[in-house]
Amino acid sequence: MIQDAIELSREALVKPFEGYHKRLPDGRCQAYPDPGSGGHPWTIGWGSTGPEIEPGSVWTEQQAQQALDRELMSKALGVLKLSPGLGTADDRRVAAIISFAYNCGLGNYRISTLRKRVDQEDWEGAAAEILKWNKAAGRVLAGLTRRRQAEAKFLA
């Protein structure tokens, strides 16, 4: 069950919206600054961040895939711990929340009204709430708006 939701999240939401950046001619990828801040957190592959990623970091596509899979599993386990009832939800709904947590973090999910709606199994309310998370550094970003719209469709 959870593995299916992780795969759906990875292929339908995370990879398409994160993209594989900055692809080098040999297929590896190089770190790039966060689009919202123009700096930290530095990001690589399909949206991986962390203290080891800094300007000039280069990964193989395999390293990027492994990092993505580890982080998606971590986020899946985290959202299920925060919202145990989500474990019985449709894979599409679980995938949307995993994608959200991958992009916004478990801390933001934990304190959000989105989580309250998920815990209430208010899927229309959850879809409306997720749309509000389309800003970075206080600015609405078109890419985040499109991602939240896709996640909302998975929730409704």
Task: Mark whether 7 is an active-site residue.
Answer: no
Q: Which of 7, 11, 18, 52 is catalytic?
A: 18
Q: Which residue has the tokens 């999240």?
A: 9
Three-state secondary-structure class, residue 40 = coil
Beta bridge partners of 58: 30
What pLDDT does residue 59 have?
Answer: 98
Name the DSSP class of 32.
B
Indicate which CATH number applies to the domain containing 20: 1.10.530.40
Residue 107 has which token pair?
A: 């801390």
Query: Domains in the chain: how many in total?
Result: 1
Tens-digit pLDDT profile for residues 65-111: 999 999 999 999 999 999 999 999 999 999 999 999 999 999 999 99
Q: Which domain holds residue 25?
A: 2-155
Question: Are 85 and 121 in contact, with CB atoms under 8 Å apart?
Answer: yes
What distance in Å separates the CA atoms of residue 72 and residue 57, rounded to the nearest whole number?
21
C-alpha 19/C-alpha 44 separation (Å) is: 10
Answer whether 0.75 is exceeded by the pTM: yes
User: How remote is the C-alpha of 60 from its chain's centroid?
Assistant: 21
Mean pLDDT of 106-132: 98
- What pLDDT sits at residue 37? 79
